[in-house]
Amino acid sequence: MKKSVYSIFISGFLLLLTSCSQQYNIAGNSNLPVMDGRMLYLTISPDGTVRSNVDSCQVVHGRFSFQGDVDSVVWAQLCMGNENVMPVVLENGKVDIFVDNFGQRVKGSPLNNKLAEFWRKKERIDNDIWGVQQQYMRLIREGKSPQEVRKKLSSQTRKLSTRMQDLETKFVQDNYGNVLGTGFFMMICSQYPIPVLTAQIRKILDDAPTSFLCHPFVHNYILETRYVKENKRKR
């Protein structure tokens, strides 16, 4: 009887441990020849500086897959060599990834669906920005001076830049409490060669709850921007 009770206890304990872990299952497809035969990696960087690979696979005939366990929901990057292909959230459930000439898409689990919806909106603005850039080049080819073209397109460029920043800022704010917020905040900050406090970053930090500000990357970023600012004063 004692052995039976002990066995039940151990089985229940192991079941509890299993239920606490996040089991991700990613199926990917790509029609890009450059990816075929290449190794892909899932990398994470909890502190925003040190990256580690949690999974890897080879692309075979345009298909790739990842499967494994993580202790909690994690923001990750799908990488090919040193190149970031796209972000993805490792969480319970099956996730589908598509990579083609039109971009990258992810869908399946709750946070990845939320990320995909945001990415679609971001890509629409990116396409509008690309359209303005093409218009700039066309006007230059027609003989207009760069000063004329910039003056003509400045209002449109400014509006698109504001739309993009507003979209990104709201996405982080709407996700202060999960990995989408901190994960995309890291992507925003990675645009700059050194830590800086832009108007957008300041807005995100000013409205952020303590839990967001205490995230290792966010906390260190705040300290580093103060450090950079102080050193600039001394020069």
Residue-wise pLDDT for 217-231, tens only, equals: 999 999 998 867 555
Q: How many residues does the chain have?
A: 235
E-assigned strand segments in 6-146: 22-30, 39-44, 52-58, 63-70, 74-80, 83-90, 93-100, 103-107
Residue with tokens 């990415």: 119
Q: pTM of this prediction? A: 0.82
Tell me: the pLDDT tens digits for 197-215? Answer: 999 999 999 999 999 999 9
Residue 163 near residue 125 (C-beta atoms within 8 A): yes
Among 20-29, 72-81, 128-137, the range scoring the smallest mean pLDDT is 20-29
Residue 99 near residue 26 (C-beta atoms within 8 A): no
For the chain, where do the domains classified as CATH 2.60.40 start and end? 22-108
Candidates 164, 161, 158, 183; CA nearest to 172 is 183
CATH level 3 topology of 22-108:
Immunoglobulin-like (2.60.40)
pLDDT of residue 170: 97
Binned at pLDDT 50, 70 and 90, residue 17 comes out as very low
